[in-house]
């Protein structure tokens, strides 16, 4: 399928981030997706990771907390609790049957959120986040499932030989290397957009990048998943991160113990290689204007912020490498309407991705998801760095009115001078979602000390908490006073 600028010189892209749901995708999520497509009539949809809520109870039998785990070995306590509430029980079946069941559930999930796109005939491309693989189906096989749906642009990487899905170890099999210069690995590939005149000249390119999942993965070697590793092997390979992981293997989120991953070294090198290939295809050797989409933001996203005192209203604390400092958006670098709702969850190390983009030339923007409450667009040293918030209604995120999908309008004569804005629930649909209690909890979810302090920096939250404490103190004081009388 050829992507091409319209006759009027525009090309529209919708970025959908963090749908993050199980087989029964939330109806409000589907409604938001359908409305955004109907209103904008996009030329392309990009799914930027965590489409799958890998820790959903539906996948409890094949759940992988980390690649290299045995299925179901490290199930989170919150997943077990949710499974009990939903009446889901672990099935006593063999691994092959369990994997087949999970595969069908993943297919059901894809069918649900892709239905508005396939019905409208809009092509789509998907990359992966840190939760997609946790269902037990890795990116290469998820690619195969995506390609079952009309309009999927995810290319085949490497050999066209069929996968071996009926082998239990297939879920940890290494990803295939690619001979296609436009495709590096599952989730990392280029989508050239041709000029409107039909000449075949590549006017710009949309780059999808697999940003990895977790650092210190016991089954991760240079970005490739390995076979199951026993406890001794994992501790030997990653003594510090695995020690923390094993101590907290059933906590709510292990990102705090081992941190997030980065694009593979192959993906970083590919960023330059693919630009050279596109330049050769055009016959002038020049890099083409390009925007990259991925899940986990790079460390450079922090450069869109400014450090502020800890007591500053609405400030958020940095995490891990950036812990101990508080931030607000730097208005001098960010577009109007930008929102910072939570800390930037990047990797502990800088893998050089942004530097590689600048060296390659052509790249004008990098957009991510991952941090469900963030919706800002900044400009740092010649490169735009931006977010789309979650468009889902099952996971945590901002209030309903701010959940949404990001629209891009690119112009053929200058793709870097693109227009972008959020298409939110509040704008497209309005009113309450079907489960405002869940949305409220997700908006004010506290998982650690930093997130608690972030909540307390919000004046409405602090005021409500202060009044509540004052009311309780007032009641207690009167109770004690009456007893003394």
87 and 110, same domain (yes or no): yes
Q: Which residue has the tokens 């509040």?
A: 426
CA nearest to 342, candidates 462, 213, 447: 447
Q: Which two tokens stand for residue 165?
A: 């899905």
Got the DSSP string for 42-70? -SEEEEES--B-TTSGGGTTT--SSTTSP
Number of domains in the chain: 2
Beta strands in 18-123 (DSSP E): 44-48
439 and 451, same domain (yes or no): no
122 and 239, same domain (yes or no): yes
417 and 471, same domain (yes or no): no
Instruction: Note down the domain range covering 462.
Output: 447-485
67 and 151, same domain (yes or no): yes
pLDDT tens, position by position, 430-472 = 999 999 999 999 999 888 888 899 999 999 887 877 777 777 8
pLDDT tens, position by position, 193-235 = 999 999 999 999 999 999 999 997 543 433 344 444 444 444 4
pLDDT at 321 > cutoff 70 = yes
* Alpha-carbon gap, residue 313 to 454, rounded angstroms: 9
127 DSSP assignment: E
375 and 478, same domain (yes or no): no
Paired with 308 in beta bridges are 326
Please say whether the beta carbons of 158 and 177 come within 8 A.
yes
pLDDT tens, position by position, 107-150 = 999 999 999 999 999 999 999 999 999 999 999 999 999 999 99
Residue-level pLDDT at 393: 97
Mean pLDDT (the chain, rounded)? 88
240 and 224, same domain (yes or no): yes
Residue-level pLDDT at 481: 66
Got the DSSP string for 172-211? GPPPPP--STTEEETTEEEEEEE-TTSS--EEEEEEE---
431 and 468, same domain (yes or no): no
485 and 411, same domain (yes or no): no
The domain that contains 412 carries what CATH number? 3.60.21.10
435 and 457, same domain (yes or no): no
189 and 284, same domain (yes or no): yes
382 and 461, same domain (yes or no): no
Q: Which residues contact 418 (CB under 8 A, 6 or more apart)?
A: 291, 365, 408, 409, 410, 411
Residue-level pLDDT at 231: 43
């Amino acid at each position: 399928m050829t992507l091409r600028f319209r006759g009027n010189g525009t090309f529209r892209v919708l970025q959908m981030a963090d749908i993050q749901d199980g087989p029964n995708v939330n109806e409000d999520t589907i409604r938001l997706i359908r409305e955004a497509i109907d209103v904008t009539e996009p030329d392309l949809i990009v799914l930027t990771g965590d489409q799958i809520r890998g820790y959903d109870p539906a996948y409890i039998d094949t759940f992988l907390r980390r690649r290299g785990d045995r299925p179901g070995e490290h199930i989170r306590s919150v997943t077990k609790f949710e499974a009990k509430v939903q009446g889901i029980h672990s099935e006593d079946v063999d691994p092959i049957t369990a994997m087949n069941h999970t595969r069908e559930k993943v297919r059901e999930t894809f069918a649900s959120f892709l239905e508005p796109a396939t019905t409208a005939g809009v092509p789509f491309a998907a990359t992966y986040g840190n939760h997609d693989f946790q269902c037990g189906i890795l990116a290469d096989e998820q690619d195969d499932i995506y390609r079952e749906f009309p309009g999927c642009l995810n290319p085949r990487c490497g050999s066209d030989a069929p996968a071996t899905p009926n082998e239990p170890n297939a879920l940890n099999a290494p990803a295939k290397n690619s001979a296609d210069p436009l495709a590096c690995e599952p989730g990392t590939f280029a989508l050239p957009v041709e000029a409107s005149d039909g000449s075949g000249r590549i006017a710009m390119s949309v780059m999808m990048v697999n940003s990895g999942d977790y650092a210190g993965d016991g089954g991760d070697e240079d970005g490739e998943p390995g076979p199951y590793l026993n406890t001794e092997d994992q501790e030997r390979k990653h003594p510090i991160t695995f020690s923390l992981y094993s101590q907290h293997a059933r906590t709510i989120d292990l990102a705090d113990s081992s941190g997030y991953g980065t694009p593979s070294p192959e993906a970083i090198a590919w960023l330059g290689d693919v630009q050279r290939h596109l330049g050769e295809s055009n016959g002038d050797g020049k890099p083409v204007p390009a925007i990259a989409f991925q899940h986990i933001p790079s460390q450079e996203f922090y450069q869109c912020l400014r450090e502020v005192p800890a007591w500053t209203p609405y400030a958020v604390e940095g995490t891990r490498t950036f812990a101990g400092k508080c931030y607000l958006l730097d208005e001098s670098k960010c577009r109007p309407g930008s929102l910072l709702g939570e800390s930037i969850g990047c990797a502990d190390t800088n893998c050089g991705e942004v530097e590689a983009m600048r060296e390659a030339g052509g790249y004008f923007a990098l957009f991510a998801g991952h941090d469900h409450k963030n919706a800002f667009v900044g400009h740092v040293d010649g490169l735009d760095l931006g977010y789309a918030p979650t468009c889902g209604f099952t996971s945590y995120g901002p209030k309903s009115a701010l959940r949404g999908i990001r629209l891009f309008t690119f112009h053929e004569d200058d793709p870097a001078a693109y227009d972008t804005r959020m298409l939110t629930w509040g704008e497209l649909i309005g009113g309450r979602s079907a489960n405002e209690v869940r949305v409220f909890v997700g908006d004010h979810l506290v998982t650690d000390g930093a997130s608690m302090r972030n909540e307390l920096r919000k004046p409405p939250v602090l005021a409500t908490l202060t009044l509540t404490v004052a009311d309780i103190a007032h009641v207690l004081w009167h109770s004690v006073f009456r007893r003394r009388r």
